Structures are given as structure tokens and as C-alpha cells.
Amino acid sequence: MLQKIKELVVDKRIAIFSVFSFIVPLVIYILTLEPKLVGGDTGWYANQIPEMTLMVPTGYPTFSMFLKLFTYLPIGDLAYRLNLFSAIFGALTTLFLFLAINKLVKNEFTSFISSMIFAFIVPFWSVANRLEFDTLNTFFVIFLIFSALVYSENKTRKYLYFFFFCLGLSLTNHPLTFFLVPAIVLYVIIINPRIFKSVKAIFISALFFILPLLSYFYLLIRSLQGFGEVNTLLRLSYYVTGRGVTGKIHGGSFGDKDISSIIKVIKDYLNILYSTYGIVLIVIAIIGFIFLVRKNKKFGICTFLLIFFNFIVPPLYIGHANPNYLLAPMIVISFYIAFGLLSILNGSIFLFNKSIRNRKILKIDKFLKYFLIAIILLFFVFLPLSYILEHYDELDLSEPLPIYRFWDEAFNNMENGSRVYVFVRAANVGMFVDTYEYGEKEIEYIYHTNPEYTVENMIEALENDIPVYFVGNSGALRSVFNTEQVGRTYYWDRYDETLRLFKVMEPIVNIEISYLSKSYAREFGEKFTVEYTIKNKNKESIKISSLELELPDNIELIEVNPDGYINQYPGISLGIYMWVSDSYEIEGEDEINLIVELRGTSPGKSPIKFRITASGFYINCDDIEMEIKK
């Protein structure tokens, strides 16, 4: 029975290790999975995906379509499903990393250990337990490398076509992949250059390469349906190549970095590698690279070129080191680590056998040999396990972050049918919570780029008995309105942002200015009257510190009508008539007026402007478009 189990394990060991390569990281990712949103760019993705609105260049068509499918899963709420996407593709990445490494190493255990090391390094784990497009990108990269290795073992056309399909697929997500694929394509060419003498092979390979790239037409289709701006083939070409619809490079730029800044970014990338792996694994990786080049020179050189391109191109594009940009090189380093581990294991066994070669082998020798192997294997197991133990608490996102808790509490505290005005970097999380978690409350969410984000709009809402709240811009808005804070204060350390919800009680200054003129067309030389009425809509009295009347060049002030509340003749400053006094006071819910006599001095149509200052605020009256005829 035990022998049969042993034979089964040996026979199915690749399948067994494959299952563990997927299940182990998936379980850890799910245990530490963010159940809600973490903010940043991913907050915008979460808002865009449900409606399939276009994302930033390159548009990420496969990411958008795959993620949309995840929104239909009958698991958790919408935010949880979006985060689960990253966990599953993170686990798929480690699965195919194991399979790809094992094709070269031919040792399931070291292949498994090296894939687990990658699974639990901070740069990868931190994007595998929350919504990001990076795990899909790493999956495409390792799937491409896997297809190249499959072709290297079976140099038939069907595997060549499979490789080119994977090549096209890898270019449907992050633009960084554009700079990685040349090294992998070079490997496929140099392992069997003769096949590219066939026009048929090249033509069919091109078709398989183009096939997944057709997914970019999703951008054009959704734009024509009103969910984006990529509505022409020119704009599509811009978007696909990482540019906005105007042709400007998105997220970075080329040609504006000096040598010193480029070198600094490269050094920062090297520091990220060092802090991620430490000296022990770096030494193991270097040993493994040497071992790999001796065993498979073509693959070793091409993977080194992949790392080289990834270190050179991003610093030319963006002026800081992004750990996510190192994930593809870290995949390659996993191959080096696997070969390094294997060389340590084989080298230790070789040295032990050599030490007992010239004498009689005793039972204790066999015990010591197996003990040595056990110690080495335990050391290998300790490597990924140490990452889990060291970083689990740091990367555990299973409890919602303060940024989400703030918005959840805010919408819970707001009345149905309220209106909230938002001017914070955490706004995208608020949009998501409003739309997909508190939609039944029908709270109107007004972002600061919305034309309705105005003091006048807020006052109008109050007059219509709509509860008004705001988040952010509190210094300016609290000087306009009497407010009270609702709920607790939260701090978002990612952007050093304090989050507080305020309810607007009433305007500090709520004044309405209207005018009365019997006609908007006057004859040249004709005198006419304009009356301005200033109404205090607050319950408390308000003092007006100044009034300003700005007349065009073809209209002059004749006199101030003494029947008005304000009957003094104004002063003049920079061509503007000004009434300045400490005695202009309007009682609560009362009004005052100013009546001026004017005369047209030359033909033309021009505006008459009027405004007042109260409590440090300017309140403008609508312009009077007055025409003076000949």
C-alpha cells in the first residue's frame, strides 16, 4: 500500500506541486484580502469597471473585460469581488511560474520553493490582495515565458503559434510589457531560426499575434456607446501606445530626464531589489544565473536582457522608482533562485559523496547524507515561510482601512436625498460607496470638478430644504457657512489627508442682489434709472462694508437717488464707483436698495456691473446688458 502511494506521488508530483503552487498563495492572499477599497488609482478602476467606462491609456481592455466578469460572482459584495480578481491572478502567476521554472530545472521541489518566494515578496503580495492590474500583467508575462519554454521543448508550428498568441495577449494590459517582450521574442528566434524562413509560418504567427490585440477595439466600441473618448482610429492608436486622446504620453514622458536623475532611479530600483531579497537570496540568485547560463546559455542571456531593458526604459519614462515595475524582473530572478537552490542541493550532495568516496560507506554515512539533505530542504522551506511570518501583519488588509471606514460612516450619517460636495484625494472611494453601497439613499455626490460645485449651488439646495454636507475644502467653506462636524475624524496616511464630514447649517452670508430697469435699450443722451435691491436671507443682521458700481465707457453716473436706502454720492477708485461705510446694515430677512441715475454718452452695448462686500465675501449681481442707441 505504501509503495503504491509512493509510486503515485512520484508519478503525479508535478500535478501535486502545481496544486500547492496555486492553493497556498491563494489561501494567504484571501486571508489578507482587502474587503473594500484602499483608494488611489484603484478607486477609479472600481468606479469604472461596473459601467465599463474606459480607463486611462492603454485602456487595459483584457483587465476591464476579465474584471467585469468577476463582478458577477456570487461571492461577497462588489468591492470584495474586485479585490478577489487580483488574488486569483496572483495565484495563477505563481502556478505558471512553478511550471515554467520546472521545465528548466527539472526539480519540482526547488521550482515550488522559488515560486513561493516570489509569491510572498512584498512587492507582489501587496498587489495580490487588493484590486490592481499588476497580477494580471505578471500572469501574462509568465504565461508568455511558459509558452516560449513549451516551444523550446517542442519546436513545432502549433507551439510557435501558441507563443505568438501569448505574445499578443501580453500586450493588452500594461504598456511596460512593450519593453520586455523583445528579449523573449529573441529567445524564440534564436532557438529555431530556420522556421522563420517559412512565409506561411510567419503569416500564421502574425495572425495569432494580432488575434488578442483585437480586444483593443473594445475601447472604440465603448467610446461610440458614450463611455469614453476613443472614438476615432487615430485616438485608438494613441491610446494603445500609452498616450491620451490628444497624443500626449500618459503618466510620464521621454526625453526630459538628465543622466543624474536616471542614475538615481536605477539606484533606487537596485535598493528595492536588495530590500526585497536580502543578501542571502541575491547571492543564491547570482549563483543560479551562472548555473543557468552554463546549462541554457540562450535563455540565460535573453532573460538578462529582459532585466536590463526593465532597468533602463522605466527611468527614461518616469522620474521615480515604482516597485511594481520590477515584478517582471523579479519573475526572472525566481528562475535564477531556483537554479541557485538546485546548485546548493546538488553541490552539497556532491561534496558529501566525495568526502566518503575513498573509504567504506557506513550506515552512519547514509544517515548523515539524508540528514544533510533534510537540513538543506528545511532551509529552502524556511525562505518563503520567513517572508510570510515577517510580513503577514504588515500586509494583512482583512479589516477595512480608515479611508473606507470614513466614507461608510459618512454615508450612514447622511439623510436620504442629501447632497455632499467633495474636494479630497479620497473622493473616488466616496463615489464607489455612494453608488454601490448606499445607492438606495439617493445621495447626490458632487465632485469638485463638477460645475455644480459652487457656493451658490449649496445655498440653493439649502433653500430647497435639501440637507447639505461637504468633505474637504473646509477652510474656505466653513468661512462661508455655519457648519457642524458629523462623525469622527479619520486620517489617510497614504496622501497625508485628514477626512472630516461637515453638515452645512446655514450661510454666514446669504444675500441676494436683484436689479430693476424698465428698458435695456436707451437713446443716446437719455437719462435712465437702475435700482439695485439687496436682500438679507439670513435670520441675523449683516453689515455691508462696500458697494461697487462699474460702468462702461459709454454710460455715466448722473446722481444717486435720495429715495434709496443708500443715498450718499460714491467715491471713485480705478474707474469704479464705491460706497464704503460701517453703517450699511441689513436686518435679518430684510432688504435695502440703491437707486442710481445714469445717462448714455455714446452708442454701443456694454454691461453694467455691481457687487457688494459683506463679511469678507464678494456677492455679485447679474450684469445688465445695456444698449445705447444713436
Let me know how long the chain is.
630
Q: What CATH number does residue 610 fall under?
A: 2.60.40.10
Q: Which of 372, 395, 418 is the last residue of a domain?
A: 395
pLDDT of 7 > 60? The answer is no
Q: Which of 377, 395, 413 is the last residue of a domain?
A: 395
pLDDT at 353: 81
Query: Do 391 and 407 have their domain in common?
Result: no
Q: What CATH number does residue 437 fall under?
A: 3.40.190
Query: Do 204 and 90 have their domain in common?
Result: yes
Domain-embedded: residue 237: yes
pLDDT at 179: 82
Query: Do 185 and 46 have their domain in common?
Result: yes
Domain-embedded: residue 3: no
Query: Do 523 and 499 have their domain in common?
Result: no
pLDDT of 4 > 70? The answer is no
Domain-embedded: residue 2: no
Domain-embedded: residue 7: no
Q: pTM higher than 0.85, yes or no?
A: no
Query: Do 220 and 367 have their domain in common?
Result: yes
Which residues have CB under 8 Å from 207's CB, separation 6+?
A: none
Query: Do 43 and 73 have their domain in common?
Result: yes
pLDDT of 10 > 70? The answer is no
Query: Do 503 and 525 have their domain in common?
Result: no
Query: Do 550 and 420 have their domain in common?
Result: no
CA-closest candidate to residue 329, choices 313, 344, 345, 309: 309
Per the model's pLDDT, the better-predicted residue between 455 and 62 turns out to be 62
Which residues have CB under 8 Å from 515's CB, separation 6+?
A: 530, 531, 532, 533, 610, 621, 622, 624
Predicted confidence band at 3 (pLDDT cuts at 50, 70, 90)? low
pLDDT at 299: 95
Q: Which of 441, 475, 507 is the last residue of a domain?
A: 507
Query: Do 484 and 600 have their domain in common?
Result: no
Query: Do 374 and 433 have their domain in common?
Result: no
Query: Do 390 and 431 have their domain in common?
Result: no
pLDDT, tens digit (0-9, with 9 covering 90-100), for 551-591: 999 999 999 999 999 999 999 988 899 999 878 889 888 99
Which residues have CB under 8 Å from 100's CB, separation 6+?
A: 142, 145, 146, 149, 335
pLDDT, tens digit (0-9, with 9 covering 90-100), for 534-562: 998 888 888 888 999 999 999 999 999 99
Domain-embedded: residue 153: yes
State mean pLDDT over 182-208.
Answer: 93
- The rounded mean pLDDT for the chain is 91
Query: Do 300 and 427 have their domain in common?
Result: no
Q: What is the rounded CA–CA span in Å between residue 95 and residue 99? A: 6
Q: Are 301 and 293 in contact (CB under 8 A)?
A: yes
* The CA-based dihedral angle spanning residues 155, 159, 161, 162, taken in that order and rounded to the nearest 10 degrees: -150
Angle 327-355/297-317 helices, nearest 10 degrees?
Answer: 150
Domain-embedded: residue 1: no
Per the structure, the count of domains in the chain is 3
Q: Are 49 and 68 in contact (CB under 8 A)?
A: yes
pLDDT at 1: 46
DSSP state of 229: S
Domain ranges, residue 522: 511-629
Point out the least confidently predicted range of 67-76, 246-255, 277-286. 246-255
Domain-embedded: residue 382: yes
Domain-embedded: residue 547: yes
pLDDT, tens digit (0-9, with 9 covering 90-100), for 357-407: 777 777 787 788 888 889 999 999 999 999 999 999 999 999 999 999 999
